[in-house]
């Protein structure tokens, strides 16, 4: 069992006393996050308190020193692949290949989820305002446009759990508006989001999680 | 659940740096005595009592350093890799510390084996260096050690360095038999075996006995060195922990 | 359960990326050619002497050319975040790692092998030894890619241009080079060269089975 008190299945993600140490230095402890469908958590805290580290723990890129992660009430060791198949992570580095075009990049990201549909790839890029540049190699695009290429995954993905680490950097007001709308849409359709952002978002159901209190 | 914990308690206690530090502190004097006794008697026996070799005269006596060093250099690599594997599988930090400490000791022993081999080579082959199969294998072993040492020092995060170098040591372990076999084969390919070293089986019993004492002495010495290096590593890693601070303040107030 | 890209899709992607960065990709091949030119200049243009050392020279150069390029097998993916995405793909990571090894061989080892007869000719290697040389380089360079991938995965986060990777990998390359050159030497001497070649084949099989696992484990550690 993952927790002393059984976690209902409707918690997409829950953590139990998550603690992380690096080289003997405790970064944070006692992380008890719970995330239901339709909820968004905004991780807050000053620089260096471990926001990105927590994100990497939640996406299994790092393993916690102690504590457990549960997906739909099941411990992660049991449902690791199901969990990974249901999550989408966009980190600081956007995983966009500058040598490839926007279309090739997005087609690969979609293929990683088993979506092989050139038309919807094209449509997703158009909806992100990249309709005119979809066939240019990404090293010819601006930083904001490259960011948009990475974020156009959000249009296509079937993953329920989104982990977004500073998704709005380099985006202009229009881009921020587009993303905000997409996040809201995801929440409305029963998805869940964990977000790190220094910019305010115009989204209703945001729960703030202050990491400063958990820092050692 | 509780019994499960009890059953494995010794295992996890073994993984506690503090426990390791205290228990080795108690053993070290005895081990040190045993090592010096074995090494002193082995050297005395080998260098002064054992008869000179019929063909090589007194120059053969360097085997009393060369052979034990070579054996421990090779065994040391396996000890290092084993400690690394235990660390990786059971996530025991203590085991990684042992692994880290085994690397410089092993590299030093490999160097000693190579150096004494070269010194021995001058009177018996007329040159310090020949591309003999064993010497070449030993040289590659030194390279393997140097790789692990370099990787250990390359990372800013100690834990990452532990785990990465443990993986490298394991990869090296799989390769060592292949390296030895292939170098052996390569050597027979390029020059017929005319320069044959005295192999352990053809050695006279009077010469063999002190050699065995020396090998035992080197084994104990290896354990002593490993304990000392590991204790230093523990202090370095656990410097912020309460028990190390208490230890240091005790030492300085004494 | 979401489907992940097939093995071939991963290979195709890496080959495409190598093609888009053609300058980087052909650099090791040009290096291979140029250094082989150094040999007659530095040693002697005498065909007799050159043909004696040609097998060894070819193999050492192939090894160096692989070393020059193996770092890139994960470096770009680490820099742009693709590696993170790979590590959280819902599948065994060893599979895409193996695909990357195959792709690396396709853009480095294979062209190098195909280029080798040209260089062998300039080094006066007897033509009878060409089949042995081609096969030994083809198998050997695949081994170099597989073992090199482990070294590259261990050093991926240490910044580029380091001297560390060759230091880790060269000792592991020594056995395959012994068998590789021996295969060609046997052929030059008119002996049956299937023995050392079979040993190389066995080593390649073991490397292809184990190296992706080791590299995948190392990537989890070093890119954390």
pLDDT number for residue B14? 66
C-beta atoms of B240 and A23 within 8 A: no
Q: Is A79 at the interface with chain C, CB within 8 A?
A: no
Phi/psi at C94 (5° precision): -60, -25
C-beta atoms of A89 and C85 within 8 A: yes
Q: What average pLDDT does range B191-203 have in this prediction?
A: 50
Q: Which residue matches tokens 């209902």? A: A8
Task: Please check whether residue C8 lies inside any domain of the structure.
Answer: no
> How many domains does chain C fold into?
1
Nearest-CB residue to A95 (from C3, C5, C81)? C81
Does residue C20 carry a pLDDT above 90? yes
pLDDT number for residue B9? 62
Does residue B194 carry a pLDDT above 50? no
Q: Is C88 at the interface with chain B, CB within 8 A?
A: no
Count of beta carbons in the 10 Å neighbourhood of residue B16: 14
Pick from A53-62, B186-195, B243-252: least confident: B186-195
Give the tens place of pLDDT for each residue, A13-56: 999 999 998 887 888 888 999 999 999 999 988 888 889 999 99
Does residue A122 carry a pLDDT above 50? yes
Query: What pTM, to 2 d.p., does this model score?
Result: 0.92
- Where are the alpha helices (H) located in A167-208, listed in sequence order? 173-188
C-beta atoms of A108 and C13 within 8 A: yes
Q: Which of residues 10-49 of B touch A (CB under 8 A)?
A: none
A93 interaction partners in chain C (CB closer than 8 Å): 79-81, 84
Nearest-CB residue to C88 (from A61, A82, A109)? A61
Rounded to a whole number of angstroms, the distance between the first and last alpha carbons of chain B is 44
Query: In Å, how far are A94, A111, A155, B68, B248 from A126, measured between CA atoms?
Result: 19, 18, 11, 72, 66
Q: Which of C21, C76, C82 to mutate to test the interface with A (most CBs of A within 10 A)?
A: C82
Does residue A202 carry a pLDDT above 80? no
C-beta atoms of B147 and C171 within 8 A: yes
Q: What average pLDDT does range B29-33 have in this prediction?
A: 96
Dihedral (Cα; C133, C134, C135, C136), 10-degree rounding? 40
Domains of chain A with bracketed CATH: 1-86+161-168+192-216 (3.40.50.300)
Q: What share of chain B is helix, strand, coil (3-state, %, to 5)?
A: 85, 0, 15
Does residue B193 carry a pLDDT above 60? no
Task: Please check whether residue C82 lies inside any domain of the structure.
Answer: yes
Q: How many angstroms away from the CA of C4 is the closest CA of chain A?
A: 5
Q: Which of C196, C202, C221, C223 to mutate to test the interface with B (most CBs of B within 10 A)?
A: C221
Give the tens place of pLDDT for each residue, A148-169: 999 999 999 999 999 999 999 8
C-beta atoms of C158 and B154 within 8 A: yes
pLDDT number for residue B241? 84
**Inter-chain Cβ pairs, chain A and chain B, closer than 8 A:** 11
C172 interaction partners in chain B (CB closer than 8 Å): 171-172, 175
Domain that holds residue C81: 14-222
Give the tens place of pLDDT for each residue, B42-86: 999 998 888 888 778 888 899 999 999 999 999 999 999 999 999
A62 interaction partners in chain C (CB closer than 8 Å): 224
Angle formed by the axes of helices B205-237 and B63-90, nearest 10°: 40
Chain C residue with minimum CA distance to A84: C90
pLDDT number for residue B16? 86
Radius of gyration of chain B (CA): 21
A113 interaction partners in chain C (CB closer than 8 Å): 2-3
Give the tens place of pLDDT for each residue, C71-127: 999 999 999 999 999 999 999 999 999 999 999 999 999 999 999 999 999 999 999
Chain centroid to Cα B83, Å, comes to 13
Pick from A124-128, A195-199, B40-44, C177-181: least confident: A195-199
Which chains contact B through at least 3 pairs of Cβ atoms less than 8 Å apart?
A, C
Distance CA C143, CA C150 (A): 11
Q: What average pLDDT does range B161-173 have in this prediction?
A: 96
Q: Is C224 at the interface with chain B, CB within 8 A?
A: yes
pLDDT number for residue B198? 47
Q: How many angstroms away from the CA of A206 is the closest CA of chain B?
A: 35
- Where are the alpha helices (H) located in C91-192, listed in sequence order? 94-104, 110-122, 130-155, 164-188
SS3 per-residue string spanning B80-108: HHHHHHHHHHHCCHHHHHHHHHHHHHHHH
Are B146 and B107 within 8 A, CB to CB?
yes
Q: Could you tell me the pLDDT band of residue A94, with boundaries at 50, 70 and 90?
A: confident
Are C158 and C111 within 8 A, CB to CB?
no
Distance CA A157, CA A87 (A): 9
Are B213 and B38 within 8 A, CB to CB?
yes
Q: What average pLDDT does range C137-158 have in this prediction?
A: 96
pLDDT number for residue B10? 63
High-pLDDT (> 90) share of chain A, %: 66
Phi/psi at C48 (5° precision): -60, -50
Does residue B200 carry a pLDDT above 60? no
Q: What does the longest C-alpha to C-alpha distance in chain B come to?
A: 68
Chain B residue with minimum CA distance to A62: B160
Pick from B150-164, C125-139, C153-167: least confident: C153-167
Task: Please check whether residue C90 lies inside any domain of the structure.
Answer: yes
What sign does the dihedral C121-C125-C128-C132 (CA atoms) show? negative
Q: Which residues pair with A71 in a beta bridge?
A: A13, A74
Burial pattern C2-40, b for ≥16 Cβ within 10 A else e, equals: bebbeeebbbebbbebbebeeeebeebbeebbeebeebb
C-beta atoms of B160 and C224 within 8 A: yes
Give helix then strand counts, H and E, for chain C: 10, 0
| CA-closest candidate to residue A121, choices A106, A135, A137 | A106
**Inter-chain Cβ pairs, chain B and chain C, closer than 8 A:** 73
Q: How many angstroms away from the CA of C127 is the closest CA of chain B?
A: 22
Q: Is B240 at the interface with chain A, CB within 8 A?
A: yes
ipTM over 0.90: yes
Q: What average pLDDT does range C167-184 have in this prediction?
A: 95
pLDDT number for residue C149? 97
Chain C residue with minimum CA distance to B154: C158
High-pLDDT (> 70) share of chain A, %: 95
pLDDT number for residue A106? 95
pLDDT number for residue A5? 56
Chain C residue with minimum CA distance to B161: C222
Task: Please check whether residue C9 lies inside any domain of the structure.
Answer: no
| CA-closest candidate to residue B237, choices B174, B145, B158, B120 | B158
Residues 6+ apart with CB under 8 A from A86: A12, A71, A159, A160, A161, C2
Chain A residue with minimum CA distance to C91: A81
Are B152 and B124 within 8 A, CB to CB?
no
Higher pLDDT, B100 or B238: B100
Query: In Å, how far are B80, B164, C33, C131, C210 from C214, measured between CA atoms?
Result: 17, 10, 32, 32, 6
Q: What average pLDDT does range C21-41 have in this prediction?
A: 90
pLDDT number for residue B196? 47
C-beta atoms of B237 and A22 within 8 A: no
Q: Which of B142, B178, B191 to mutate to test the interface with C (most CBs of C within 10 A)?
A: B178
Does residue B219 carry a pLDDT above 70? yes
Chain B residue with minimum CA distance to C206: B174
Distance CA A88, CA A149 (A): 15
C-beta atoms of B157 and A24 within 8 A: no
Q: Is C217 at the interface with chain B, CB within 8 A?
A: yes
Q: How many angstroms away from the CA of B7 is the closest CA of chain A?
A: 21
Distance CA B3, CA B30 (A): 35
The tally of CA atoms less than 13 A away on the side-chain side of residue B6 is 3
Q: Is A204 at the interface with chain B, CB within 8 A?
A: no
C158 interaction partners in chain B (CB closer than 8 Å): 154-155
Are C165 and C71 within 8 A, CB to CB?
yes
Does residue C1 carry a pLDDT above 60? no
Does residue B3 carry a pLDDT above 60? no
Residues 6+ apart with CB under 8 A from A48: none
Q: Is B233 at the interface with chain A, CB within 8 A?
A: no
C197's tokens: 């070649």
**Residue C109 carries which DSSP code?**
I
Task: Please check whether residue C7 lies inside any domain of the structure.
Answer: no
C80 interaction partners in chain A (CB closer than 8 Å): 93-98
Rounded to a whole number of angstroms, the distance between the first and last alpha carbons of chain C is 26
DSSP string, B136-162: HHHHHHHHHHHHHHHHHHH-SSHHHHH
B189's tokens: 């390919």
Does residue A57 carry a pLDDT above 90? yes
Q: Is A117 at the interface with chain C, CB within 8 A?
A: no
Q: Is A9 at the interface with chain C, CB within 8 A?
A: no
Distance CA C172, CA C149 (A): 12
Q: How many angstroms away from the CA of B158 is the closest CA of chain A?
A: 6
């Amino acid at each position: 069992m993952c927790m002393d008190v059984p976690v209902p299945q409707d918690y997409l993600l829950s953590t139990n006393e998550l603690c992380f140490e690096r080289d003997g230095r405790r970064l944070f402890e006692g992380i008890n996050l719970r995330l239901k469908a339709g909820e968004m958590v905004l991780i807050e805290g000053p620089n260096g308190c471990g926001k990105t580290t927590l994100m990497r723990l939640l996406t299994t890129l790092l393993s916690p020193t102690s504590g457990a992660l549960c997906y739909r009430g099941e411990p992660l060791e049991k449902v690791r692949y199901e969990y990974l198949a249901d999550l989408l992570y966009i980190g600081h580095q956007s995983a966009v290949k500058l040598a490839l075009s926007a279309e090739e990049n997005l087609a690969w990201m979609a293929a990683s989820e088993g979506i092989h549909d050139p038309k919807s790839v094209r449509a997703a890029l158009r909806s992100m305002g990249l309709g005119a540049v979809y066939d240019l190699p990404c090293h010819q695009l601006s930083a904001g446009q490259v960011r948009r290429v990475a974020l156009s995954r959000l249009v296509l993905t079937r993953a329920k759990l989104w982990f977004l680490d500073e998704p709005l950097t380099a985006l202009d007001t229009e881009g921020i508006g587009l993303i905000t709308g997409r996040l809201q849409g995801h929440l409305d359709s029963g998805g869940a989001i964990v977000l790190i952002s220094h910019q305010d978002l115009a989204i209703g159901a945001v729960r703030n999680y202050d990491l400063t209190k958990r820092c050692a | 659940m509780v019994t499960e914990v009890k059953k494995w308690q010794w295992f996890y206690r073994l993984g506690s740096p503090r426990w390791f530090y205290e228990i080795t502190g108690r053993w070290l004097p005895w081990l040190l005595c045993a090592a010096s006794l074995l090494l002193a008697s082995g050297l005395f026996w080998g260098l002064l009592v054992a008869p000179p070799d019929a063909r090589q005269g007194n120059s053969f006596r360097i085997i009393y350093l060369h052979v034990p060093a070579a054996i421990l250099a090779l065994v040391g690599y396996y000890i290092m890799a084993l400690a690394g594997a235990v660390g990786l599988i059971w996530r025991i930090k203590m085991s990684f510390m042992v692994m880290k400490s085994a690397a410089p000791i092993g590299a030093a022993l490999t160097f000693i084996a190579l150096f004494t081999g070269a010194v021995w080579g001058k009177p018996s082959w007329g040159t310090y260096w020949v591309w003999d199969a064993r010497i070449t294998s030993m040289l590659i072993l030194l390279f393997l050690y140097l790789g692990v040492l370099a990787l250990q020092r390359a990372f800013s995060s100690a834990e990452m360095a532990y785990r990465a170098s443990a993986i490298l040591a394991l990869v090296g372990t799989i390769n060592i038999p292949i390296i030895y076999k292939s170098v052996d084969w390569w050597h027979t390919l390029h020059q017929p075996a005319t320069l044959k070293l005295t192999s352990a089986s053809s050695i006279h019993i009077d010469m063999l006995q002190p050699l065995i004492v020396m090998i035992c002495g080197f084994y104990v010495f290896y354990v002593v060195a490993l304990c000392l290096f590991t204790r230093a590593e523990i202090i370095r890693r656990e410097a912020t922990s309460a028990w190390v601070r208490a230890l240091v303040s005790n030492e300085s107030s004494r | 359960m979401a489907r992940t890209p097939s093995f071939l899709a991963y290979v195709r992607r890496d080959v495409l990326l190598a093609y888009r960065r053609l300058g980087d990709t052909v650099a090791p091949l040009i290096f291979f050619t140029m250094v082989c030119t150094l040999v007659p200049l530095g040693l002697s243009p005498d065909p007799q002497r050159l043909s004696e050392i040609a097998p060894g020279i070819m193999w050492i150069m192939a090894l160096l050319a692989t070393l020059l390029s193996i770092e890139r097998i994960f470096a770009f993916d680490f820099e742009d975040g693709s590696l993170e995405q790979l590590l959280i793909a819902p599948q065994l990571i060893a599979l895409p790692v193996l695909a990357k090894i195959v792709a690396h061989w396709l853009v480095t080892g294979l062209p190098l092998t195909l280029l080798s007869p040209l260089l062998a000719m300039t080094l006066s290697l007897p033509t009878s030894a060409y089949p042995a040389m081609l096969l030994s380089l083809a198998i050997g360079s695949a081994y170099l890619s597989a073992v090199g991938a482990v070294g590259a995965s261990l050093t991926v986060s240490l910044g580029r241009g380091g001297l560390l990777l060759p230091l880790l990998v060269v000792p592991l390359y020594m056995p395959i080079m012994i068998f590789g050159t021996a295969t060609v030497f046997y052929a030059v001497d008119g002996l049956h060269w299937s023995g050392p070649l079979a040993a190389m084949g066995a080593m390649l099989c073991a490397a292809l089975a184990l190296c992706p696992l080791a590299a995948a484990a190392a990537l989890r550690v070093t890119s954390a």
